[in-house]
Chain A
Amino acid sequence: MHSIYARINNISALLSTSLMCLLGAIAVSSYFFTADPKGLLDVSSIQVFPGNARRYVNKNQDFAFVNFNVSADLTPLFNWNTKQLFLYLSAEYTNPQGIRNDVVIWDKIVRRKEDANIDIAGRNKYVFREPSSSFKNIPPAHYTLKYNVMPYVGVLTYGEAARTKEPVAFPESRDLS
């Protein structure tokens, strides 16, 4: 009855049950932190140039180059169950065919609360091009900064931290030569 195996079994069962309960409680506790920080985002310049993509060498298409300023204090998103933030800046527009496009042009990982008060002047990190290969007749786009809160344990949550006040129009494509 009180053999050493029974004792080991009991203790490990108790330990793993309490560990699971603790992890569950920590995961649930994230729902009580309801920070929703808002910041500012504006596009300082946007240019469109024709060029060739690496994969489709013979296809001429437009590339957009976006410079932006973003400032936001995201420190409230760091609670005891926040491992890191994934920030991403996306361009949102609905093309003339009525299809909603959402293009990520920049992102950043914030791993410490001390780095979460961001104030960045940046430009698009990822190639920004249109499936129709031209930005002509594409309506103005909104730019948004969104975040993904990645926890130590539990559910991943998403939110929007900043959005341009007015949609930004794509300029005419200009040839460099």
Chain B
Amino acid sequence: MEPAFQRGDILFLWNRDSLAKVGDVVVYEIQGDNNAVDDLGLYAKKQPYLNQKTDLVGTVKGYLPKLGYVTILITENVYFKYGLLGIMGISSLLSNE
């Protein structure tokens, strides 16, 4: 991921091509993270390759920086989550439509 994509960035993925080409940026279900050796040791036992249908999430086609932090804030930050809920509750109480 680094240094191209950071935490909180949004990636647009595509997994309808018949083959993943060399040079494609693929997102898969196994943790890789720029290890010195190839990732074979991280695969399941006796698995020498990744299966496109079951292991690949998709190929990165487009990129939108930072906006994923909205989701991260809501799911991980308790204060933000309840603060947002509180504001929504108060505003619905105070609005007189």
Seen from chain A, the residues whose Cβ lies within 8 Å of a Cβ on chain B are: 3, 5, 23, 27, 54-55, 83-84, 86, 88, 90, 102-104, 109, 111, 126-127, 146, 148, 150-156, 158
Contact = CB atoms under 8 A, between A and B. Distances in A.
Interface stretch (B50-58, B59-67, B76-84): B59-67
A151 B25 CA distance: 14
A27 B3 CA distance: 20
Interface of B: 3-4, 21-23, 25, 37-38, 40-41, 60-65, 91, 94-95
Contact of A84 (B4, B23, B41, B62): B4
Nearest to B37: A54
Contacts of B60: 156
Nearest to B5: A150
Contacts of B37: 54
A155 B14 CA distance: 12
A153 B25 contact: no
B41 A152 contact: no
B95 A5 contact: yes
B48 to A, nearest CB: 8
Contacts of B65: 152-153
Q: Is the interface of A mostly helix, strand, loop or mixed?
A: strand
Contacts of A55: 40-41
B73 to A, nearest CB: 15
11 contacts: A5-B91, A55-B40, A84-B3, A86-B4, A88-B23, A126-B38, A152-B63, A153-B63, A156-B25, A156-B61, A158-B23
A72 to B, nearest CB: 16
Given A23-B64, A54-B37, A156-B61, A148 B95 contact: no
B23 A3 contact: no
A88 B21 CA distance: 13
Contacts of A83: 4
A53 to B, nearest CB: 9
B22 A111 contact: no
A95 to B, nearest CB: 15
Given A3-B95, A55-B41, A109-B3, A154 B62 contact: yes
